[in-house]
Structure 1
């Protein structure tokens, strides 16, 4: 027990260096963005919404274009999006999330928060970063991710308000979980699986951008279970 406690303590110190920095970057960016928001007129708010929507679409397209040629299973992303969307609609994730967020804020915070969670958590840096930190003590990925998330959270908070800071809590537990289970995940999270997850994630981020631009409300949160379909597929494949 003492050995295990010492091991977890050493891991916790590395998490503070990496994941905590990433979390703090989002919190700081959210505070700065909220402060900036107070002095922005409505017409400039609309401009920020458009900019954020286009940015999300661009990032989503980039992830799709970058990962689709690497995919070993060309139709898996279609099956993932279809099956995941059906599961999410059945669970009614959007309405449940909206009700939860509405207790703390009014307006479109749920839309902004769901976009923030996707942008911050579903990416190679946010997944590989905690693993690299745990296995080799290298925090380069997490520090790079923190820089990107700082800028993104600042823009999101200037559009949606301080509620975007809640995404920092989600990121902390997301990266923390990956960190502590990195020994198990390192052999399972192969480059092929990460490619499929990133590909599906790209479509989800793109759909969030469409919703922000009010082109099509794709209910990206209902599509979130799509990210688990590649994981299930690779688990089944590993037994055969």
Structure 2
């Protein structure tokens, strides 16, 4: 399926997330707390499955050929360590939580019935729920082979089939997440627009600048980040996933550096 213009695939994806989020928010308040907990656990397990499917790209032949046998795991480890140190030094987790808090307050004014609460414990829980929904779905929707390959293909004029498939998956995922986390999931549409839009522009302006090996490394690192999100959803450990986000930028650069030294 060919897009009429670069970026139409991302527009379809954003629209799917908005529709799914609105439907989920509309139906979500009707669910009792025990059902929401079960849904959250189910989402955590599915996120773990998606993470495993993404992380398996560490075994991709293109990555192994570019950096050498046994090195891909070290590339992922190096990306996470360097990215984590950078993110912690910049205070990304803290900054994103502050930004999410501002968005949550704006959302509470715009959608008074979206479950934000007022003050004290209710307001604090609502703020955490908003942050968790926004951060979780933003990463889930923005990390993965369909995001990178689909956006680049859109920019290169090679069609939007991959992004249409991703849109259908994101539609149902956003519906389920919004039923549990509320309006925070809706704001992930902005994250998708920025990330996929940027990749589409990159593909349109520079062509195929990211090699299959670099995409594989980025996807594998993204899979590990999704494991961190799954642990949070399952209430096992509060992994500071936002502090690890720079690893997504480090991974392709590290692949290029290692490949250049061979």
What stretches of structure 1 move > 4 A for 4+ residues in a row? 237-240
Q: Deviations over 1:158-192 (max 9, x none)?
A: 11002211111111121111112214554321111
In 1: Cα distance, 2:30 partner to 2:96 partner: 29
Deviates more, 1:194-203 or 1:213-222: 213-222
Q: Relative to structure 1, is the Cα distance of residues 76 and 46 closer, same or farther in structure 2, using a 3 angstrom cutoff?
A: same
What corresponds to 1:213 in structure 2? 234
- Quick check: 1:44 aligned with 2:35? yes
Match of 1:68 in 2: 58
Structure 1 unmatched runs, 5+: 1-11
- Give the RMSD, CA atoms, in angstroms: 2.0
Find the partner of 1:157 among 178, 192, 197: 178
1:95 pairs with 2:86: no
Q: SS where residue 185 of structure 2 aligns?
A: helix
Corresponding residue SS for 1:14: coil
Higher helix share: 1
The alignment of Structure 1 onto Structure 2 pairs a total of residues equal to 229
Distance 1:79 1:16 in 2: 33
Residue matched to 1:191: 212
Larger mean CA deviation between 96-105 and 211-220 belongs to: 96-105
TM-score by length of 2: 0.81
The 8 Å contact of residues 7 and 154 in structure 2, kept in 1 or not, is answered as no
Structure 1 residues 62 and 137: CA distance shift in structure 2, 3 A = closer
Deviations 1:91-116 (A, max 9, x none): 11111111111123223221221111
Equivalents in 1 of 2:257, 2:206: separation in Å?
16
SS in 2 for 1:103: helix
Task: Please give the alpha-carbon distance, in whole angstroms, between the structure 2 residues aligned to 1:122 and 1:43.
Answer: 30
**Is the contact between residue 178 and residue 185 of structure 1 (CA under 8 Å) also seen in structure 2?**
no
**What is the SS of the residue equivalent to 1:67?**
helix
Give the SS at the match of 1:32: helix
Would the alpha carbon gap of residues 183 and 133 (structure 1) be closer, same or farther in structure 2, given more than 3 Å must change?
Answer: closer
Q: Kindly indicate whether the alpha-carbon contact (under 8 Å) linking 1:14 and 1:137 is maintained by their aligned counterparts in 2.
A: no
Q: Is residue 76 of structure 2 the alignment partner of residue 55 of structure 1?
A: no
CA contact (8 A) 1:37 1:161 kept: yes
Give, in angstroms, the shift of residue 194 of structure 1. 0.7
Structure 2: stretches of 5+ with no match in the other structure: 65-70, 105-126
Structure 1 residue 80 corresponds to structure 2 residue 94: no
- The equivalences for 1:94-113 within 5 A come to 94-105=93-104, 106-113=127-134
Find the counterpart in structure 2 of residue 123 from structure 1. 144
Question: How far is the alpha carbon of 1:196 from its aligned partner?
Answer: 0.4
